[in-house]
A and B are shown apart, each in its own frame.
Chain A
Amino acid sequence: MGNRTFAYFLALSLFGEKGRHISTVLLSILIVFLLSSVLFISSSLHSVIENALREEPDLVVQRVEAGRLVNLPLKWEEEILSIRGVSKVTPRIWGRYFTGVKGKSFLVIAVDFLDENSHKTLEKLIGETELKTFLDGRHMIVGYAVMEWMKSHFYKEYYNFIGRDGEIKKMKISKVLPKEDNALFADTIIMGIESAREIFGISEDEATDLILDIPNDAERDFIADKISSLHYDIRTISKKESRAAYDRMFNFKGGFFLSLFCVVLLAFVLILYQRYSQVYSREKRQIGIFRALGWSMGDVLKLKFLETLSVVTGSYIIGVSIAYIYVYILGAPLLKNIFMGNGNLDMELILPPVLDFSALSSIFLLYALPFIAAVLIPVWRISVSDPKEAML
């Protein structure tokens, strides 16, 4: 076929019959947009989790009594440190502080700011920390949503915690965690361990958990078993288990995705059906005319393949681009609520841009192949029949 003549004719088929393609293109864009949006959000969240896990301790030790988490004695610190392979043990206070407002709570993580390791971890999270600020025990770092919530309750610079003894403990906000960390740290408060002891009424020889450094990855499971055998009420949480917990945190939204996916799938099947029947009714006559006027089966298939490929590729590029703008520039309004279902504070979810090319290619293939087949199969069936019949 003369390339220019064929290209002209292809353009004519695509743009000369806008009505034929418009509903297909719009629905296709919607499908690709929905699938890509979900993919962008989940890729972004996974990258957030991956980053967070990098900062997670190698092993966390807790105490369980009658199935309930209780404070652990700091004398365990020495016992655990004596196990070969454990390079450092740091006490930590970790727990939820419930405000007077129903259902609202902050996740308090309290560490020893003087401890070199804790300090380094914090630096990774919030950048350079002014160590001196925290030494007075009256300062805290808050997540973005905590700051917003406090502001809306007239605590612009500080917050009054009510301690276990009923006394008010006034803590100043010295830093706010960046919005980009909202996915995991929106409702988090970081403070010095002594301040948390005062608020929660935890004595100096206790902590809620111990965080361990185990430099050799291969030894972690073995050391965890060893630690577990030290006391009957000891519980260990490895990085692997933390990952599973984070995954559960986001995977509970799987139901929403499944529903969304079913809707998308249904729409896709409808498009395929529409395209299939369209080819059979409207295009049957056109294909018959082409065949009667000297087009071979190959010529017809080539035109329809390129026509469909153009529609599919065009819709795909537009759908992915809109999804990128929607998720990474506009912040996925509406859809992000699915991910924030368990957040107890209102927050803005910031999704760092992540492009998973293998998943994007899979979407293209899963979407393009059935689509092209839904056009080419009837075209082929019409082409093999007598052209005369196709025109009736």
Chain B
Amino acid sequence: MSYIIEIEDLQKHYDNSGERFHALRDIDMKVRRGECVILKGISGSGKTTLLGIMAGLDHPSSGKVVVDGEAIAKLPDRHLSRFRGKHIGMIFQHYNLIENFSVRENVMVPLVPMNLDFEEVERRVRESMEVANISHKASMSAGRLSGGEKQRTAIARALASDPEIILCDEPTANLDRANSERFVEILSKLHDMGKSIVIATHDPIFDHLPFEARVVHMEDGRVVEEGRES
């Protein structure tokens, strides 16, 4: 069995004025290639922290995190950044778009440090926007988009570097029902493309996905239950 993400005995704590706060405790988790994992739990359960560590945006206090065969916690900044840019696509709760850049320019951001020809950059941007169904807004500045359009721009941006892994943090938290359903449709497309997907959410819309997904329940920084839904 080939795993794209392997986490062993992961601990994450913050020390504040002599007090220790445990954000994640004893996490062991494996994600197979092409698998979709839904991290569920209430706010503060540790979902986003776990996602951040998988993305290399945050560092574990102890434990092992191997992503696509690379122990990312030990990588120096430059290599970790390159690794993240190439292997991981992030979709954030608040989209994190650069408001005064156009959709096309936002999608281009992860490709800038990748040393690609400009023609190749343009091709990837065009294809990602098509998958995310946002090509028709390519020239519009991100600040003028609706919530759904912002989300689709964020998806296009996450796909631009053609990563194996897509990590989504509360992707539908700021979307209405129709846009959330559209997001699930795109997610299904990504799953069909063979992407490994991890979603941190508490939105019930992910309870009934049109494809097979594994649900991991979290509470107080621990994995309390694992199941399978489809």
Contact = CB atoms under 8 A, between A and B. Distances in A.
B108 interface: yes
A21 to B, nearest CB: 12
B109 A296 contact: no
A16 B81 contact: no
B112 A391 contact: no
Contacts of A291: 81
Contacts of A296: 77-78, 81-82, 113
Interface string A265-308: 00000000000000000000110111111111111000000000
Contacts of B98: 286, 289
Interface stretch (B17-25, B84-92, B170-178, B217-225): B84-92
Contacts of A386: 52, 57-59
B3 interface: no
Nearest to B160: A293
A290 B81 CA distance: 10
A285 B92 CA distance: 13
A392 to B, nearest CB: 9
Which has the most chain A C-beta neighbours within 10 Å: B85, B101, B109, B112? Answer: B112
A341 interface: no
Given A293-B90, A296-B81, A299-B81, A17 B115 contact: no
Interface stretch (B26-34, B116-124, B131-139, B180-188): B116-124
B45 interface: no
Given A12-B101, A388-B57, A388-B58, A294 B114 contact: yes
Contacts of B58: 386, 388
A9 interface: yes
Contact of A294 (B52, B82, B97): B82
B157 interface: yes
Nearest to A285: B96
Contacts of B109: 289-290, 293, 295
B44 to A, nearest CB: 15
Nearest to A291: B81
A295 B113 contact: yes
Interface residues of A, number: 28
Nearest to B118: A4
A5 B109 CA distance: 10
Nearest to A6: B112
B115 A292 contact: no
B57 A293 contact: no
Contacts of B108: 5, 9
B100 interface: yes
Interface string A344-382: 000000000000000000000000000000000000000
Contacts of B161: 294
B112 A292 contact: no
Tell me if A's interface is mostly helix, strand, loop or mixed. helix
Contacts of B114: 1-2, 294
A17 B98 CA distance: 11
A386 B49 CA distance: 12
A294 B118 contact: no
B115 A12 contact: no
A299 B112 contact: yes
A379 to B, nearest CB: 14
Contacts of A17: 100
Nearest to B49: A388
A1 B78 contact: no
B101 to A, nearest CB: 6
A143 interface: no
B57 A294 contact: no
Given A5-B121, A289-B98, A294 B116 contact: no
A91 interface: no
A271 to B, nearest CB: 21
Contacts of A192: none
B54 to A, nearest CB: 12
Nearest to A12: B105
Interface string A1-38: 11011101100100011000000000000000000000
Nearest to B120: A2
Contact of B116 (A5, A285, A292, A299): A5
14 contacts: A1-B114, A2-B118, A4-B117, A5-B112, A285-B96, A288-B96, A289-B98, A292-B55, A293-B110, A294-B86, A295-B81, A295-B85, A386-B52, A388-B58
Given A5-B108, A293-B109, A299-B112, 11 more contacts: A2-B116, A5-B111, A5-B112, A5-B118, A5-B121, A289-B97, A292-B84, A293-B85, A294-B161, A296-B77, A296-B82
Interface of A: 1-2, 4-6, 8-9, 12, 16-17, 285-286, 288-299, 386-388, 391
* Nearest 3 A/B pairs, CB to CB: A294-B85, A296-B81, A4-B118
